Amino acid sequence: MKVLDGKALAATIKEELKQEVDTIRLAGGKIPHLAAVLVGEDPASQVYVRNKVKSCEMVGFQSSLIRRPAEITQTELLEIVDELNKNPDIDGFIVQLPLPKHLDENTINLAIDPKKDVDGFTPVNIGMMTLGLPSYLPATPNGIVTMLDRYGIETSGKEVVVLGRSNIVGTPMTILLSRKGNPGNATVTMCHSRTKDLAFHTKRADILIAAIGIPEMVTADMVKEGAVIIDVGINRVEDASRKRGYRLCGDVDYAGLEGKVAAMTPVPGGVGPMTIVSLMMNTLAASKR
């Protein structure tokens, strides 16, 4: 089985980005600047944002972190978004999700200038992606597509099954792999919580993308021999044998599938690092605009 090592691939792409930024700096050009807005104290969000800031520093980007307490009002957060939209030095920014429940994520998202939407979540960028026009692609799906391309995983004419229909991963993933292009030209089936006989669909998949958020739900009996598995899930499960009392796992049973599939992403170290590097690729593109 080939391990689709997102951590190693992300390191390679970061080095490529660093070389490009070095060239821009030597020419006296605009250094890419990514800003992140972090609301509250969600542990996972803090880790994600910290990794994004660290990655920016590694490749020579400028980065800004705007932290606000969970009690921030929607009006106050919208004012921060407006300031970032108008700041000519900021090339792109993200508002880290999830937000506290009293804040309307859709309203915040709609307030982001599409030209600075390096997460690729605004309706303008989603619509452009759907039409196959140049846009900022959602970070995780773009990271997966980049991984499939760099590892030489053929998608044309293949049966792809996507588990999950979120706007962040599942839905854009189906669009990207079904449209004309490479990677692309696949026949894509989307499955979700209301899908009947899930195994019927997963057993047909040449490429299975699991983004459903249920620990190790996909087992060996649900997957055909020689399939390619992209595991987007990252779940924390209790494990008394571990020093910290838990372990991280994906949506697929990695140990159970190792001997059956042709290639698979590990968790952690698979899709996660590619999501961050995809965000940086979008930021570089934004700075060039």
Please check if 165 is assigned to a binding site.
yes
- 143 and 108 in a common domain: no
How many structural domains compose the chain?
2
Q: How far apart are CA 179 and CA 248, in angstroms?
A: 33
The answer to which of 43-52, 78-87, 172-181 has the lowest mean pLDDT is 43-52
| pLDDT category of residue 126 using cuts at 50, 70 and 90 | very high
Active-site entry in 52, 158, 231, 251 = 52
CATH of the domain at 58: 3.40.50.10860
281, part of any domain = no
| Closest C-alpha among 227, 267, 229, 251 to residue 166 | 251
Q: What is the pLDDT of residue 45?
A: 85
CA distances from 247 to 24, 235, 236, 252 (A): 42, 8, 6, 14
Whether residue 184 is predicted with pLDDT greater than 90 in this model: the reply is: yes
- 144 and 105 in a common domain: no
Active-site entry in 14, 96, 206, 231 = 96
52 in catalytic set: yes
62 in catalytic set: no
Helix axes 139-150, 6-26, angle to 10 degrees: 100
Kindly report the backbone phi and psi dihedral angles of residue 215, in degrees, each rounded to the nearest multiple of 5, phi listed first.
Answer: -55, 125
Please check if 164 is assigned to a binding site.
yes
Q: Model confidence over 212-236: pLDDT tens digits? A: 999 999 999 999 999 999 999 988 8
| Closest C-alpha among 121, 110, 61 to residue 288 | 61
| pLDDT category of residue 245 using cuts at 50, 70 and 90 | confident
Q: How far apart are CA 152 and CA 154, in angstroms?
A: 6
Active-site entry in 14, 91, 116, 119 = 119
CATH of the domain at 204: 3.40.50.720
Please check if 214 is assigned to a binding site.
no
Q: What is the pLDDT of residue 33?
A: 97
Please check if 60 is assigned to a binding site.
no
Provide the residue range defining the domain that includes 44: 30-113
| pLDDT category of residue 88 using cuts at 50, 70 and 90 | very high
Burial class (CB in 10 A: 0-12, 13-18, 19+), 134: exposed
Q: How far apart are CA 205 and CA 222, in angstroms?
A: 10
104 in catalytic set: no
- 263 and 166 in a common domain: yes
- 84 and 45 in a common domain: yes
Q: Give the pLDDT mean for 14-38.
A: 96
- 164 and 77 in a common domain: no
Q: What is the pLDDT of residue 243?
A: 84
